[in-house]
Amino acid sequence: MEPYGDCIYCGGEVIERVQRVDYRVHGQLYILEGVPAGVCQQCGELFFTAEVARRMESVVVEATGPVETLPIPVIAVK
């Protein structure tokens, strides 16, 4: 059984890949590595199964510290 189906936004084919995901909680940005996600081959939208979404949330809540910290530039668009 295909867990994702077609993209709900553009109708494109969704294929599972392991991704790096930006995950925000209460204004804090986390980057999660190695997340299985459905990726639309047409528009690039990401989809997660309920199990993966729960796991991402628990990983962030239970984290004792990051394995790496990255500087992220913030640029204002005028």
Q: 1: which residues sit within 8 A by CB, 6+ positions away?
A: none
Give residue 68's identity as a one-letter amino acid code: E
pLDDT at 41: 98
- Residue range 19-62, pLDDT digits in tens: 999 999 888 889 999 999 999 999 999 999 999 999 999 999 88
Domains of the chain: residue spans and CATH: 14-62 (3.10.20.860)
Model pTM?
0.81
